[in-house]
């Protein structure tokens, strides 16, 4: 599903954020990415979503080398991915429904198909009854579930979640992880960045550990 081969990322204003990073994630795997703040976790995600470009090395997503993807190819690459963020990145002047619909509207789906898919996605995260609400009227955990519904409404094969439970209390965090488990059960691959060691040890699974830009440990 995803392979990094000797990947380096240097920011001119900073220096090396990733140093010789290599790993492979197979289809359907459940993997945590951990390491202290500043270790390079967000940078790694940005390289997969082609928000940033690698300085050296190769990144292969779904059998395709995306390291030097053209701007025209980027939307196609992102459609394979569901991106989830610590701060949800919702539009606060739009309803829950409209937030989740946005990726489908941009992709040109017809209104009937948009409604059907948005309701299916909201059903998966348990928010069908709140589709008309504005995001700020929801709890943090509910807002993150809106973020998840938006990320999966186009049925990606691969979910990348960057500190998805970082702003949530333990109960809401558990609900988010349960939703991820359900998707993983459907065959969706998950890469979850977190520095919550308790949450990681409770959930189990493979761990990629970043330390100052280098992959320090790979647990099987
Ligand atoms: P993490 O997600 O693990 O906290 P990041 O990938 O955000 O780590 O950052 C890794 C390092 O790269 C940090 O020291 C950060 O300051 C630096 N960095 C991240 N983005 C940029 C950027 N756009 N320009 C310069 N330095 C950056
Ligand atoms: P439909 O195929 O009729 O849209 P499904 O019951 O297959 O509905 O899926 C309902 C919703 O669950 C989808 O709209 C999507 O949000 C999510 N979903 C289903 N399968 C996947 C998958 N393989 N990957 C990601 N999300 C999925």
Judge contact between 7 and 175, C-beta under 8 A. Answer: no
Distance CA 90, CA 88 (A): 6
Percent of the chain surpassing pLDDT 70: 98
9-54 per-position pLDDT tens digit: 999 999 999 999 999 999 999 999 999 999 999 999 999 999 999 9
**Ligand 1 within 6 A of CB of 99:** no
The mean pLDDT value for 137-153 works out to 97
Residue 33: C-alpha distances to residues 5, 166, 218 (Å): 17, 14, 10
185-202 per-position pLDDT tens digit: 999 999 999 989 899 999
Pocket of ligand 2 (CB under 6 A): 117, 120-121, 124, 152-153, 155-156, 183, 186, 188
80-136 per-position pLDDT tens digit: 999 999 999 999 999 999 999 999 999 999 999 999 999 999 999 999 999 999 999
Buried-exposed string 145-154: b where 16+ CB fall within 10 A, e elsewhere: bbbbbbbbbb
| Number of residues that make up the chain | 220
Q: 129: exposed, middle or buried (C-beta count within 10 Å: 0-12, 13-18, 19+)?
A: exposed
Q: Kindly state the tokens that stand for 22.
A: 């290599």
Q: Is the pLDDT at 219 greater than 70, yes or no? A: no
**ipTM score assigned to the predicted complex:** 0.75
Q: Is the pLDDT at 220 greater than 60, yes or no? A: no
Residue 13 Cα: closest atom of ligand 1: 25
Residue 52 Cα: closest atom of ligand 1: 23
Distance CA 215, CA 149 (A): 31
Ligand nearest to C-alpha 128: 2
Residue 42 alpha carbon to ligand 1 centre in Å: 7
pLDDT recorded at residue 216: 85
Ligand nearest to C-alpha 15: 1
pLDDT recorded at residue 133: 98
**Ligand 1 within 6 A of CB of 41:** yes
């Amino acid at each position: 599903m995803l392979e990094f081969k000797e990947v380096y990322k240097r920011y001119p204003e900073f220096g090396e954020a990733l140093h010789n990073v290599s790993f492979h994630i197979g289809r359907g795997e459940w993997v945590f990415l951990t390491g202290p703040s500043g270790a390079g976790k967000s940078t790694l995600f940005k390289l997969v979503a082609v928000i940033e470009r690698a300085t050296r090395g190769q990144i292969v997503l779904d059998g395709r080398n995306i390291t030097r993807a053209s701007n025209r190819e980027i939307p196609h690459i992102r459609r394979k991915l569901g991106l989830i963020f610590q701060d949800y990145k919702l539009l606060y002047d739009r309803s829950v429904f409209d937030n989740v619909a946005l990726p489908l509207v941009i992709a040109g789906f017809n209104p009937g198909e948009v409604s059907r898919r948005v309701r299916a996605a909201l059903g998966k995260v348990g928010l069908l009854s709140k589709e008309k609400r504005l995001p700020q009227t929801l709890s943090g955990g509910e807002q993150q579930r809106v973020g998840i519904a938006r990320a999966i409404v186009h049925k990606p094969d691969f979910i990348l979640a960057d500190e998805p439970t970082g702003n949530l209390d333990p109960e809401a965090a558990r609900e988010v992880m349960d939703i991820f488990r359900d998707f993983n059960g459907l065959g969706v691959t998950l890469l979850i960045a977190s520095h919550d060691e308790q949450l990681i040890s409770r959930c189990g699974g493979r761990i990629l550990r970043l330390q100052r830009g280098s992959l320090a440990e790979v647990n099987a």
